[in-house]
């Protein structure tokens, strides 16, 4: 599963409608926050894997295939962790990025 992240959704200013509320879709913002969390966790897993010695009992001889498998597995685990909200990074970012006009209505991220 490829993790596609569009950082522009986090950087653009929210459009304000005539009622004074943001037109920004809270679900899209939360999804972007989850994607960012998945990228962050995937990077963290990659760095943790780099500290594990490659020689020893678990050495299969086909190091390239094992690295590819490990990378794919780390990506999938990171994506699943972000979607299940078990770490909470996406929720914290979401709460920071909700426009001030929506703070009272959207303190909690939209449910999956």
pTM above 0.85, yes or no: no
Residue 44 has pLDDT above 90, yes or no: yes
DSSP secondary structure string, 36-97? HHHHHHHHHHHHHHHTS-SSSTT--S-HHHHHHHHHHHHHHHHHHHHHTTSS-HHHHHHHHH
Q: What is residue 50's predicted lDDT score, i.e. its pLDDT?
A: 86
Q: What is residue 73's predicted lDDT score, i.e. its pLDDT?
A: 92
Domain ranges, ordered by start, for the chain: 8-51+60-102
The string of pLDDT tens digits covering residues 13-33 is 656 655 655 566 788 888 999
DSSP letter for 16, please: B
- Tell which wins on pLDDT, 108 or 97: 97
Q: What is residue 28's predicted lDDT score, i.e. its pLDDT?
A: 87
- Give the number of other CB atoms < 10 A from CB of residue 35: 21
% of the chain surpassing 70 pLDDT:
61
């Amino acid at each position: 599963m490829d993790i596609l992240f569009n950082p522009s959704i986090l950087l653009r200013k929210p459009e304000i409608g005539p009622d004074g509320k943001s037109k920004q879709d809270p679900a899209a913002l939360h999804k972007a926050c989850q994607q960012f969390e998945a990228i962050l966790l995937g990077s963290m897993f990659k760095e943790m894997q780099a500290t594990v010695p490659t020689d020893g009992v678990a050495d299969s001889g086909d190091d390239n295939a094992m690295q590819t498998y490990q990378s794919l597995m780390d990506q999938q685990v990171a994506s699943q962790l972000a979607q299940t909200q078990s770490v909470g990074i996406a929720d914290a970012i979401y709460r920071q990025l909700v426009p001030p006009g929506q703070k009272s209505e959207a303190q909690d991220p939209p449910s999956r």
